[in-house]
Structure 1
Amino acid sequence: RGTERRKFLASAGRDRWLVKFAGLGETGLRKKRAAAMLHEAGFGSQVVALCHGFLVERWIDGSTMDQAPLPRERLIAELTNYLTWRALNLRTCEPGASLLALAEMAVSNASEALDEKRAATLRGWLSKPTSAHVLQRVEIDGKLQPWEFLVRADGTVLKTDAVDHCRAHDLIGCQPIEWDIAGARVEYGLSDSDVRTLVEGMELPIDRDHIGFFEPCYLAFQLGLWSTAAQSENGGEKTRLAEMADRYRMPLIRFLDECRI
């Protein structure tokens, strides 16, 4: 989909594997370890091998969650379990963008994609004080869209492509788990009550102020990502990517038009 890296499907008889480049040396080994941990926890596909920098995983038959949506209560439970696991098991000391850098990115994207008035509103919103304590950074998932989850025939939900988005060549990097909570809120239209249920279910010290800070940053980042991708395409693919950008444009507009500084 638009910004995805190329992947390959390998087969031998009835067996099929997903093959994707993970990286050479320690980079690939680190991603293999994370993928194996995800599988052992029940969130990912079985890792078969790391060969010449390519990660080989057993192919998963299933429908993406946008094609097989879950009931709301089950969805929130799945997100709760998954994000709790990441918060506890994928902690890191690796740096990511500061709050200031995220705010500057969001305002710049809003100025370019929306208008100066809304960009100023966003600047005001993001200048509100947040809690002073430093939050634990984790290897965030960063891509919680419904098509990034697979629902198998037995109802099991698995996360695809979950080991390296925090190390993509973009601004975000490793962030507190609150970034992924904000992303989940955006991607699934979670209400305040839904978010409260998710946070309480995690049973971790989650900072709600940071969720509120990250939400418009996430929207602005996705808007810029898909808008940029659309600019480099033509024809039907350009239209599809522009529609993806609108998926974030309209919620960001609503957020800014309704927020109180």
Structure 2
Amino acid sequence: MANSNSRDANFWVFRDGRKKVCGRRVLRELLAALERLAQGVITLDSVITALMVAGELESALADSDSIGLSKVEQLTDGLAAMLGSQRPVSYLHALMEEVSRVPVPQEIVLSPAEGFAYYALHPLDFAILAEQTAGLRNTRLAVIGIRSIGTTLSAIATATCSQRGRSAERITVRPTGHAYNRSLQFTSPQLEWVRSQNTVSADFLVVDEGPGRSGSSFLSVAEALVAQGVSPDRILFLGSRPVDPAQLCAHDAVSRWNRFRFFHPPTHVYRRFSNHLYIGAGTWRNLLIDGQSQWPACWPQMERVKFLSRDKTSIFKFEGFGRFGDQVLHRDHCLAQAGFGPPAEAAGDGMIRYQFIPGTLLDATQVSHFLLEHIAQYCAFRRSEFSVPEEPSQVAEMFRFNLHQAFDIDWDFDPALLATKNPVLVDGRMQPHEWIRSKDGTIIKVDGCTHGDDHFFPGPTDIAWDLAGAIVEWNLDAAATEFLLASFHRLTGDDPRMRIEIFTLAYSVFRLAYCKMAKTTVLESDDEPILQSTIANYCAQAERQLLTLQHSSTQRTLPTLRVPNLSGVAD
């Protein structure tokens, strides 16, 4: 494998979260959120929930060029105007009536608003950013939102600027092409709008979350504007996080990005936790683990925002606004009632308060029949309680791609080997340090509500993914593995033995890819050697599993697998 940061960054770990859903169901969800507002239940959280759904529906209708788009746009704008005051706009009831009659397509495609779901992008913080940016120059503002989340953010920016007496209008666009090389072609109406705004020397605000790893979505919009005669000094990017242009992987990213000005929001809302201890970005390891040599690997930038209360009784963790947080809280209640997880409750602003469990983090030396039985019971519970409807999965394609990237192996296996008729929201974090032995001896699983449905792989999949995770992360030998699988079989009637080998390899290869990509973001930090050691471990695990599967392919119906020289893979 090439020993270069560019190669290490070229793995597939983020899954496509787009889903085809019933359009009328989304409309009903929106109308229910609006009804709560109309009945006087007007809180910041209830406004954000309605605004999120309106933005999602608007984005989907814009993508499908639906005739009801304009009414939903007006609703999104009205809800954005309610953010700061939490007072209903005068035309809310009229808009509700009109939107209820919008001819929504039978099926629409929704993409998760990652900033609202995973990365603690608070709408009020973005409103503050828009207000600060609008004050830089006394000009007309033309706001362009990059769908999907940019739809909602563009409404927030436009409403905020308008409320401050600035003339502001908005449109939304959808760049296309490879994720690292997006391009944008304005439609004829959009071209007319851009030219009219340019004629009056408007400043163009391009709004989206991110930038992501490439920055190409922002760049595609800006360069399309420049092609229409807009001066680069009148194009401003409003994103959600700091960015080092040198780390962007779009072609010629530094020189292209530096032509434009970029702004991201300060964190104002979460200052209510200023008297708490921040334990995000891997800093929780300082508190809970003695000695840096024992720290588990993490990807600091991808960790959720979280705080420990001063009295060390509660952990406040961002789990998402609206239905994102609601779904996480529902899963936590299920796990807590079954005795597997800590109790939790909603804490506002997308945060959930978890009870802090005093105790000892487990490690791989503490494997016992009692522990393995508990893990089997946990997996059996998830299989029963967190099953979801079957939908297309990219796990097989991800595995094939990362196997080639990591080991230069092109294995022509049947994707059905990694498919399932019973998909589950798996845990995805079966490492020993994710289990706590409390002071009364109870074993509690923490961090079990989020990762099965975030934007990383695997997404909904076979529960064999978690069984494989336990085998790999606890470094189980053959006897312990057999005990775990037999216990699970006894509890569920589902025998995973025939499929566990390929799931174990797929798990190891994914974690290898994840850590390889994480390492490129922490170079010359304390986390780099930790990740390098973890990468070496996953490589060793995968090598053994590859050899096992090579043998199995001669004994069963698996396609022949030829394993090349694997030396140097962990470099």
User: TM over 0.5: same fold?
Assistant: yes
- SS of 1:176's partner is coil
Task: Mark the CA change 1:25 to 1:247 in structure 2 (over 3 Å): closer, same or farther.
Answer: same
How far off is 1:144 after superposition? 0.3
Question: What code does the residue aligned with 1:239 have?
Answer: P
Tell me, in whole angstroms, the C-alpha distance in 2 between the residues paired with 1:59 and 1:89: 24
How far off is 1:72 after superposition? 1.9
TM-score (norm 2): 0.41
Q: Return 5+ residue gaps in structure 2 as ranges.
A: 1-281, 283-297, 554-571
How far off is 1:169 after superposition? 1.6
Task: Mark the CA change 1:229 to 1:132 in structure 2 (over 3 Å): closer, same or farther.
Answer: closer
Q: Return 5+ residue gaps in structure 1 as ranges.
A: none
Tell me, in whole angstroms, the C-alpha distance in 2 between the residues paired with 1:56 and 1:129: 40
Question: Which of 504, 514, 536 is residue 215 of structure 1 equivalent to?
Answer: 504
Map of 2:304 onto structure 1: 5
Task: Mark the CA change 1:61 to 1:39 in structure 2 (over 3 Å): closer, same or farther.
Answer: same
How far off is 1:249 after superposition? 1.2
Contact 1:109 1:221 in 2 (8 A): no
Task: Mark the CA change 1:90 to 1:23 in structure 2 (over 3 Å): closer, same or farther.
Answer: same
- SS of 2:465's partner is helix
Map of 1:54 onto structure 2: 351
How far off is 1:87 after superposition? 0.9
- SS of 1:49's partner is strand
Question: What code does the residue aligned with 1:87 have?
Answer: R
The C-alpha deviation readout for 1:6-61, integer Å capped at 9, x for no partner, is: 311123xx562101111111111111011111111111111133422101111111
How far off is 1:217 after superposition? 0.7
CA-based RMSD: 2.4
Map of 1:136 onto structure 2: 422
Question: What code does the residue aligned with 2:379 have?
Answer: L
- SS of 1:55's partner is strand
Tell me, in whole angstroms, the C-alpha distance in 1 between the residues paired with 2:312 and 2:525: 36
Question: Which of 384, 400, 407 is residue 104 of structure 1 equivalent to?
Answer: 400
Contact 1:178 1:206 in 2 (8 A): no
Question: What code does the residue aligned with 1:158 have?
Answer: I
Aligned: 1:17 with 2:314: yes
Map of 2:527 onto structure 1: 237
Map of 1:27 onto structure 2: 324
The C-alpha deviation readout for 1:166-191, integer Å capped at 9, x for no partner, is: 12222311111111111111111223
The C-alpha deviation readout for 1:174-216, integer Å capped at 9, x for no partner, is: 1111111111111112233323322332232133232111111
Higher deviation after alignment, 33-42 or 243-252: 243-252
Higher deviation after alignment, 88-97 or 218-227: 88-97
Tell me, in whole angstroms, the C-alpha distance in 2 between the residues paired with 1:110 and 1:29: 37
Question: What code does the residue aligned with 1:251 have?
Answer: Q
Larger radius of gyration between Structure 1 and Structure 2 = 2
Task: Mark the CA change 1:189 to 1:96 in structure 2 (over 3 Å): closer, same or farther.
Answer: farther
Identity of aligned residues (%): 25
Question: What code does the residue aligned with 1:8 have?
Answer: F
Question: Which of 82, 106, 109 is residue 378 of structure 2 equivalent to?
Answer: 82
Contact 1:106 1:216 in 2 (8 A): no
How far off is 1:131 after superposition? 6.5
Question: Which of 200, 207, 213 is residue 486 of structure 2 equivalent to?
Answer: 200
The C-alpha deviation readout for 1:221-257, integer Å capped at 9, x for no partner, is: 0011111111111232211111121221111122224
Question: What code does the residue aligned with 1:80 have?
Answer: A
What number of residue pairs does the alignment pair up?
248
Task: Mark the CA change 1:34 to 1:77 in structure 2 (over 3 Å): closer, same or farther.
Answer: same
Tell me, in whole angstroms, the C-alpha distance in 1 between the residues paired with 2:536 and 2:379: 26
Map of 1:63 onto structure 2: 360
Contact 1:48 1:57 in 2 (8 A): yes
Q: Which structure has the higher relative contact order (CA within 8 Å, separation 6+)?
A: 1
Map of 2:444 onto structure 1: 158
- SS of 2:366's partner is coil
Task: Mark the CA change 1:144 to 1:109 in structure 2 (over 3 Å): closer, same or farther.
Answer: farther
Tell me, in whole angstroms, the C-alpha distance in 1 between the residues paired with 2:448 and 2:479: 27
Task: Mark the CA change 1:199 to 1:98 in structure 2 (over 3 Å): closer, same or farther.
Answer: same
Tell me, in whole angstroms, the C-alpha distance in 2 between the residues paired with 1:133 and 1:31: 25
Tell me, in whole angstroms, the C-alpha distance in 1 between the residues paired with 2:530 and 2:314: 28
TM-score (norm 1): 0.86
The correspondence of residues 244-259 of structure 1 with structure 2, limited to 5 A, is 244-258=534-548, 259=550
